[in-house]
Amino acid sequence: MSLELNAAQPSDKGCRLTFVVSNVLGADLSKAAFEIALFNEAGVIDRLTVLDFKDLPAGKTKVTRFDLAGADCGKISRVLINSARECAGTGVEPAACMRSLKTSTKTGIAFGV
């Protein structure tokens, strides 16, 4: 799994995070959801939330946006992938999503596991 934090932009709801996700596990995922922790500018956890990427066909790359209500993009210093809440697909071990996860960012926000 490859997960890139591509953009963080203010939205009418709060902060919109845009991710580019690629399923390179060699099997279709019927469900992929990750729990993330958002850290504020002081390095303190602001919130935990789950991002549901839904289905991810094998070899497919897709762009997904999440609006985080009440979040201020300018105050997010770090996004941490805390765990894979769901990683389901035929022949896919539940731990496969975290074990193979590679993260990157195109933003000024630290992003990783």
Domain boundaries, the chain: 2-112
- What kind and span of H or E run contains 13? none
Q: Is the pLDDT of residue 106 over 90?
A: yes
pLDDT digits (tens, 9 = 90+) for 27-62: 999 999 999 999 999 999 999 999 999 999 999 999
Q: Is 53 left (phi over 0), alpha (psi -120 to 50) or beta?
A: alpha
Mean pLDDT of the chain: 95
Tokens linked to 30: 């019927």
pLDDT digits (tens, 9 = 90+) for 60-86: 999 999 999 999 999 999 999 999 999
pLDDT confidence of residue 94: 87
**Architecture of the domain delimited by 2-112:** Sandwich (2.60)
Look up the pTM and report it: 0.92
* Extended strands (E) in the chain: 2-10, 14-22, 29-39, 45-56, 61-69, 78-88, 102-105, 110-112
